[in-house]
Structure 1
Amino acid sequence: MISSEALHLGPLMLPWRLLFLFVALIITAMIGRKVGQQAQWSSEIQQRFQDSIWSSVWIGLVGARLVFIGLNLESYLASPIDMLKIQDKGFDLIGGVVTGGAWFWWRNSAIATKAKAILLLIFVMLLGTGFITQKLLHKDTHYPSLSFPSLNLSNQDQLNIVPLQQFQGQPTVVNLWASWCPPCHREMPVLQRAHDQHPKVHFVMLNQGEEVETVRAYLTKNQFSFKHVLLDAQGEMPQALNSFGLPTTLFFNAQGQLVERHQGELSQAMLQQYLKKINP
């Protein structure tokens, strides 16, 4: 299955950006090998070049993570363990490219400056082309024409039907979750704090496929007090927006346009980054 965010192979999700990164690396490595043959690099220089391509990935990822942490230090200091949770996808692209590029440059000191500069430029252009293509092919998505029962924790009986489009007019975060999902449970306190701290942003907790009693018991037991808890018994929302896996968090601006989506567990720092995009 193909979505605007990733290639889905069964339970495996491969983000397009990660695929673009590896395609750019492979093409750059192939071009570098041809350049080396023409320039008659020694076998040692050739081997070092090939090794540096892949070691640059790891150095770049570490650099991207450290830069992101530095830019969001206040949020991470509130929960230092989140620094290790790379599943929040908190990486700074520019920081990663600069760090990885610097490592590549240093490791290939025996290669002519012009050749290194050309290879780095090719890599950046390939990566940029992939990202721009994804952006251009990304279709504007708005609230789907769906309505869901709303769970009222203070009223055991009443279930009002709420159309998603009623949230248009304010930035809105829609979280797809289930009580049996461990990462959903881990990110709930993060979403609850944001819910309390951002009264001008709607937080819609859209439960996936569970009974009313199960959802009510879970929220009551864990003392969560979200204003908008909706029940998607048939999984209509994931189907409408091609969102696979839990948790998934959707970020809509005040005009009802889907600005970002995050698949997987959210950290406080990553959530703040998304909120800035829909509530500047």
Structure 2
Amino acid sequence: MNVITLGPLALASDRLAAILGIMVFLVVGSLLAARYDRRLAPWTTTAVLSGLIAARAAHVLFHIDSFIDEPWRVAYVWQGGFSWIGGLFGVAIATYFLAREARKTLPFAAISLASGLFVWFVFTTLMTSGEGPAAPRFALATLDGNETLSIADRKGRPAVVNLWATWCPPCRREMPLLAEFASQPDVDFIFANQGEAAPAIRSYLGKAGLTLDTVLLDPFSDLSRHYRAVGMPVTVFLNPDGSVETMHFGEISREALTAALAKILPTDKE
């Protein structure tokens, strides 16, 4: 996953692709509505709203075990979590009501929908990154100050590298979840603090009641530059050979974390 910077704003490329696709869908629908049938304009708005609601609802239903203990997370849409199957269902519902009222407008509705999907597909294809950077060889000091650690030297096990800071609200929100998953025996979790001194980190962890096994001090944000990470938090999922399997920009959800871990964990457990 790549990230796109627009001034001070950073967006994951998949989310930007979805936004651009929706914008093109709305614009093309409005142009066709002005030229052929005004009923297309409210349909595009209804289709977007119903599609987003249905996409979120389907995602929650597909991961109901994850949400049942934390139902308030249904509203955490900034974490992502939308099902394309649910989205298509929502658009289909809006289109059904359009067809009942103005069947002759369906070809124009199809044009606007195809335009949005085309832009989404092209942007996603262009932004699909190849192989990520190799594991960095430089060493960083651990929080306890007793040793240094190079990510390249710890090959042989899958790893999750979280780039974070104590002043970053999304970092603080996701940290308890990451700390919970860090207890898994088959993957190494590395929490690389970006740009802060050890006392500030210890103070935050103590107040938050968090115990993390591996915390690195990255005072000059070398890891952020190495992985071309813009903004925080960023979570990098590494294969046992140190190569990047995937990266998550922004606050991570339980579902996204579980799915990413499944890609790097060994599948031949006995």
State whether TM-score is above 0.5.
yes
RMSD of aligned residue pairs (Cα, Å): 2.7
State the 1:179 CA deviation. Answer: 1.9
Unmatched 5+ residue regions in structure 2? none
Matched to 1:127, the amino acid is W
Q: Which residue of 2 aligns with 1:267?
A: 253
Q: Which residue of 2 aligns with 1:276?
A: 262
Matched to 1:128, the amino acid is F
State the 1:51 CA deviation. Answer: 2.5
Measured against aligned partners, the alpha-carbon deviations of 1:63-122 in whole angstroms (never above 9, x if no partner) come to: 221111111111111222211111211222332234234424433541435554455444
The answer as to whether partners of 2:131 and 2:244 remain within 8 angstroms in 1 is no
CA gap 1:257/1:56 in 2 versus in 1, 3 angstroms: farther
Of the three residues 4, 8, 23, the one matched with 2:5 is 8
Unmatched 5+ residue regions in structure 1? 153-157
Of the three residues 147, 151, 163, the one matched with 2:143 is 151
Q: Which residue of 2 aligns with 1:237?
A: 223
Q: Which residue of 2 aligns with 1:129?
A: 122
CA distance in 1, matches of 2:234, 2:197: 19
Count of equivalent residues: 264
SS of 1:149 mapped into structure 2: strand
Are residues 1:64 and 2:55 paired? yes
Shifted more, 103-112 versus 88-97: the winner is 103-112
State the 1:126 CA deviation. Answer: 3.5
Shifted more, 168-177 versus 257-266: the winner is 257-266
Q: Which residue of 1 aligns with 2:179?
A: 192
CA distance in 2, matches of 1:91, 1:180: 28
Are residues 1:165 and 2:152 paired? yes
SS of 1:94 mapped into structure 2: helix
State the TM-score, normalizing by the size of structure 1: 0.81
Measured against aligned partners, the alpha-carbon deviations of 1:215-245 in whole angstroms (never above 9, x if no partner) come to: 2233234332222111101111111222122
CA distance in 2, matches of 1:174, 1:222: 20
Matched to 1:130, the amino acid is F
The answer as to whether partners of 2:10 and 2:231 remain within 8 angstroms in 1 is no
State the 1:175 CA deviation. Answer: 0.9
The answer as to whether partners of 1:101 and 1:120 remain within 8 angstroms in 2 is no
